[in-house]
Each structure stands twice: as structure tokens, then as C-alpha cells.
Amino acid sequence: MKIAIIGATGLVGSKIISLCEKYFSHEVEYSLFASKNSAGKKIKVSDTEYDVIELCDENIGHYDIALFSAGGERSKIFATKFIENGSYVVDNSSSFRLEENVPLVVYGINQDEISSNTKLISNPNCTTMGLVMALKPLHDLFELESIVPVAYQAVSGSGTAALNSLEKEISLGEQLTPQYEDGYYTNPIAKNVIPLAGSLTDNGYSDEEMKFVNESRKILKIHDLIVEPSNARVGVVTGHGTFCSATFKNVVDIERAKSSINGFDGTEYWDSPLPTPLDVEGREEVLVSRLREGLSSNKILNFWVVSDNLLKGAALNAVQIAKYISTL
């Protein structure tokens, strides 16, 4: 089997490489693609050293699976070219997520939408991914009608440049002021919370918030799901956390809800200690906690969910999909 990893030198790409070593045999042959600036670097995968290849037309060959994590523009240009050369493409960008004939897949929820004829599969947004992993077992029990998610997104979700900016801001110590303008974001992120993640759209919501709306509906197949999202960026390296208030058609039961989360592959319920971004860094599981019945209705569940945005939120889900494709 031949696997191409596009964006191999990035944050998510490096995680994909580590997970491929875990999920696939050492007999797999890899091709590692990145920008022209990274071409020629050497990366070891499963004890074999590979040269990083520049992503360009002349370097594209036949691969069984191509895992894209190189940004939306590169996905738009190159995904179809890999498909034309016989690859299944799993894309981490937002470029194809809402296209009607492209499955938006969370492994553990809807991987059965992939068939041998499905050549392009989209990976959902990292924040949406963690939330729907908690919502799916609850929906199966009580029938979901609406959600009010409030997300706290880590800096690594914005990439290496944002992490470098966070590190620089931390190093400034007391010299860092609210007026600091040399950071990655519109405001300093170190020791701070910015009440906006992503870019504002015409309706006043950010593109990150609208991903909650559109992607949750598509993944869970609840096309009339009511979603009222708010997303903030926090000065945390890794781990997106979301408080969610979910309303269901049927009366909820806390103990049944906890059991369903613990019985759902890829999620765990923690009563104590309360899971935080530090707890999920490097973990494959999505962690849920603080499950409470609503104060105003016995059809409401309020809870906290947190996951490693670089793993289940991106690289892990892509590799799980790739492993599933390899069995078709």
C-alpha cells in the first residue's frame, strides 16, 4: 500500500505520520509532500527515512490513499489531481465539507457513508468533531432538537505561526500589554481570552461558529437542528473545550446519558477529576464531564466536552478513515 501525506511538515501532518506508524504495518510505503521551502527535509516513518517532496503537478504519482492537511487552497488545487491518479483523498480543510456528494465523516459515527466508489472524504472541523462525538450517543437515546455550544479553542488550531506568537508573548512577561500589536491574533492571546475564533461573516457570526451549525447538521443527519454557537480563542496550546446545552425531544436521564457516553467508542465520561485541555493532550479519546439536567426543563442536558484538536480533531480521524478505506 502507498500513502501520500500532504502537509507532512505541519502540526497536523506530523501527527498523521506518528499515527500511521501506529495504525498501519511497516510495509506501507509513504510519500511526504510539503511546500517548496520544506522539500528535501528528511523524515523517518516506521524506521524508513523519506525525503520531503515539493507539492507540484510533476511529483504526483499513484497512491492508494492521500491524506491532505495543507490548507484549503492546496486542497482545491491538488485533491482532484490525486484522485485522477487513483487515490482516495481524505481532506482536513473546509474546502469540500458542505458539498452534497462529499461525505463529512467522523469515524465512529458515520464512516459507513464511505464506499469503494467514494474517492473524496472530508474531515470535519476540529471543534465540531469533539462535540458531535459527545452528542451522537445522547441523540440516539433522547433525539436531539437544538444545541447552544460555547467553544474555547486552543492556539494550535491556528497553526505553527500562532503557536510561535503565543510563545513570544509569554516570553514578554509583564511587558505584554493589551495594546500589543505584533501577535498572530487581533489581541494578545497569552494570559488572555479573545471573544472570537475565526473570521467574521456577513451575519455577525464567525466562520468557526458557522462550522458548528452546518457540519453538526450534516454529520448527525439532523437537517433542522437548531444551533446557536459562540466560539472564543484561549491562550492554551492544545485542546478545544466546549460547554454545550442540548435540548431533546424526550425526557433525559443522567445515568443513562453517562452510560451511553462511556459505551460509545472514542468517548469517556469523567466525574472526577474534571477533564481539561491538559488531560486530553496526546489522548485519542474525547472526554465528557459536568453532565447536568437543565434547570428549566427535563429535556435539557448541559455538559462539558474536551478533546485534542490535533488528534481526534484532525490527524486521528483522518488516519482512522484511511484505515477504514484500506479494508474496503
Instruction: Please state, for a pLDDT cut of 90, what percent of the chain lies above it.
Output: 99
CATH code of residue 261: 3.30.360.10
Task: Tell me, yes or no, whether 86 and 154 share the same domain.
Answer: no
Task: Tell me, yes or no, whether 140 and 272 share the same domain.
Answer: yes
Q: What is the mean pLDDT of residues 55-75?
A: 96
Task: Tell me, yes or no, whether 145 and 111 share the same domain.
Answer: no
- Element of type H or E holding 72: helix 72-84
pLDDT of residue 33: 98
Task: Tell me, yes or no, whether 84 and 29 share the same domain.
Answer: yes
**Is the peptide bond between 273 and the residue preceding it cis, with omega within 30 degrees of 0?**
yes
Long-range contacts formed by 22-29: CB under 8 A, 24+ apart: 23/319, 23/320, 23/322, 23/323, 24/322, 24/323, 24/326, 27/1, 28/1, 28/2, 28/3, 29/1, 29/2, 29/3
Task: Tell me, yes or no, whether 150 and 168 share the same domain.
Answer: yes
Q: Which residues contact 325 (CB under 8 A, 6 or more apart)?
A: 65, 88, 90, 114, 121
Among 306, 309, 302, 307, residue whose Cα is nearest residue 148: 302
- Please state, in angstroms and rounded to a whole number, the distance separating the CA atoms of residues 55 and 7: 9
pLDDT of residue 64: 98
Instruction: Please state, for a pLDDT cut of 70, what percent of the chain lies above it.
Output: 100
pLDDT of residue 235: 97
Task: Tell me, yes or no, whether 238 and 90 share the same domain.
Answer: no
Q: Which residue has the cell 516570553?
A: 171
Question: How many C-beta neighbours within 10 Å does residue 285 have?
Answer: 19
Q: Which residues contact 311 (CB under 8 A, 6 or more apart)?
A: 15, 19, 282, 283, 284
pLDDT of residue 78: 98
Q: Is residue 139 flagged as an active site residue?
A: no
Number of folded domains that form the chain: 2
CATH code of residue 101: 3.40.50.720
Catalytic option among 20, 126, 139, 244: 126
Residue 294 — pLDDT band, cuts 50, 70, 90?
very high
Q: What is the mean pLDDT of residues 249-259?
A: 98
CA pseudo-torsion sign 209, 145, 123, 274: positive
pLDDT digits (tens, 9 = 90+) for 115-163: 999 999 999 999 999 999 999 999 999 999 999 999 999 999 999 999 9
Task: Tell me, yes or no, whether 106 and 144 share the same domain.
Answer: no
pLDDT digits (tens, 9 = 90+) for 305-325: 999 999 999 999 999 999 999
Q: Are 239 and 278 in contact (CB under 8 A)?
A: yes
Task: Tell me, yes or no, whether 139 and 225 share the same domain.
Answer: yes
Task: Tell me, yes or no, whether 151 and 277 share the same domain.
Answer: yes
Task: Tell me, yes or no, whether 281 and 320 share the same domain.
Answer: no
Q: What is the mean pLDDT of residues 220-247?
A: 98
Q: Are 283 and 133 in contact (CB under 8 A)?
A: no
pLDDT of residue 191: 95
Task: Tell me, yes or no, whether 107 and 181 share the same domain.
Answer: no
Grid cell locating 292? 447536568
Catalytic option among 20, 139, 240, 244: 240
CA-CA-CA-CA dihedral for 268, 270, 275, 280, to nearest 10: -20
pLDDT of residue 109: 98
pLDDT of residue 311: 97
Task: Tell me, yes or no, whether 108 and 249 share the same domain.
Answer: no
pTM score, two decimals?
0.96
Domain assignment of residue 199, given as a range: 127-308
Q: Is residue 240 flagged as an active site residue?
A: yes
Q: What is the mean pLDDT of residues 258-275?
A: 97
pLDDT of residue 282: 97
Arithmetic mean of pLDDT over the chain: 97
